[in-house]
Structures are given as C-alpha cells and as structure tokens.
Amino acid sequence: MADGDDDALEHVTEQATLTPRYLIYMTMAGVLAGVGLLSNSVPILVGSMIIAPALPPVALVAFGVVHRRASLVARGAGVAALGLGGAAVAAVLAGLLMQVTDVIPPGTELLSKPMLEERVRPGWWSLAAAVAGGVVGVVALTEKKTDTLIGTVAALALVPAGAAAGIAALAGDGDRALGGLLLLGMNFAMIVAMGILVLAVLRREAAPLPLTISVVLIAAIVVLMVIAHTTGMTPGQPPAIQSS
C-alpha cells in the first residue's frame, strides 16, 4: 500500500500546482458562476463547475494532514485560496459588466435569485455536496482518475459560494456576503475532513492526529451551522421551496 500511497500523493501534488492554466480555468469558472447565479440558470452554473479544477488543491490539504507534511497543507490551501479568490473576483466583474451593459436592468435586486439566495443563507443541505465531493474526489485522486467530472461535485460546493459572497458584497449586503464566505469555509473544511477519513480507511490506519483534526473540523462545522441557524442567518429549508 505504501508504494501506491506515495504514487497517489505525487499525483495529487502534481495536480495541485499553481499554473496560469489553473488560474484561467478558475477565473472563467467564476465568470460562469456569476452569470449563472444572476440569471438563475442551472445549465450555466453547472458549466462553471465542469471547468473548475477546484478539487486537487483542497484534496492536497487532506493528503498533507494524513502524511503530516505541513508544507503540503500550506501549498494546497494557498493554491485553493488563490483560485477561489480569483473566481469570486471574476464573478463580481461579470456582475458589474452585466450592470454596465444593462443586461441586468437598473435597480434590479441582485440577491433576489433563488440559487444565489441559497448560497448566501446556507442550510444543512448545503453541506451534502461537500461531503460527497470529499469522499468521491479523494477516492478518485488516489486512483489517479483525471476525469474533470469527478471534481464537479467539489467545485459545486466551493465556487458558487465564493461567487455568491462576491455578488453580495457588490450589492452592498455585508451580512449575506458573510453568509457566502461562511458556506465556502464550511464546505472547504468538510471536504478536507471527509478526505482525511477516506484516506485513513484506504490506508487502513487510525492515526490519532489526522483523525482528531477531521473530528474537530466536523464538530466546528456543526457548531457554526447551529449558531447560524439560531441567529437567523440560515433558513430551515432551501429558499426555492419555502412555502408562502
């Protein structure tokens, strides 16, 4: 298992590299995410997820924790932060361009779209993509699968949340911008936590430190969700299906 484990680590490290191509893909994913959220278009939003290589850097954080290599954790977190930050900025610029060109009519409430509202006031259901993305994404990377579609679930948990936070900031709504950032942070942590658990199972090890980190991350997410729910930041059900 050791040789295969080392090969998987090398593969993920190679995938999680800060390159112009990575930044271009993430930026364009942000543009599409911004357009998809503002137009309430599911196909455009899904398209943004397909081209976003968001999974490898986040998975590298999990690999770094399991292998106890702080340099890999820092590298993965840094590459992910730059990519997601670029996507959020691109979403804001897309929104500005749509306003300037009157694609979005003057006076339109930017945060009135159901898909956007869901990502600035996250509920418990919002973590489902992060859980699935962490599990299937890390398994796929350990098997050296490079199919972009495998990382779509993880991208779905990350890019729209960052884009929504940027659009909320553009609209001058600090509370909802904070809600989008909260969802982004929780999803990031959940993907890492699930990745650590999956790697522990695949390696057939129960190393105390990585498992402790995973449990702490999950516990922190639960606490944040409870706080968000009790303070009214988080709705009890998805905005799109709320009853009148």
- Convert the pLDDT of each residue in 76-89 to its tens digit: 999 999 999 999 99
Each residue's pLDDT tens digit, 186-215: 899 999 999 998 888 877 666 777 888 888
Nearest-CA neighbor of 140 among 216, 188, 86, 191? 191
The lowest-confidence range among 19-23, 191-195, 212-216, 238-242 is 238-242
Q: In 108-211, where do the E strands start and end? A: none
CB atoms within 10 A of CB 124: 14
Structure tokens at 93: 């610029």
Q: Which of the four pLDDT bands, split at 50, 70 and 90, describes residue 244?
A: very low
> Pick the residue with more confidence: 144 or 173?
173
Q: Give residue limits of the domains in the chain.
A: 2-230
- pLDDT score at 5: 67
The domain 2-230: what is its CATH number?
1.20.1080
Residue 59: pLDDT above 60?
Answer: yes
CB atoms within 10 A of CB 90: 24
Residue 116: pLDDT above 90?
Answer: no
Could you tell me where the DSSP H helices lie in 119-151? 128-142
pTM for the whole thing?
0.85
Q: How many CA atoms lie within 13 A of 209 on its CB side?
A: 9
Chain-wide mean pLDDT for the chain? 83
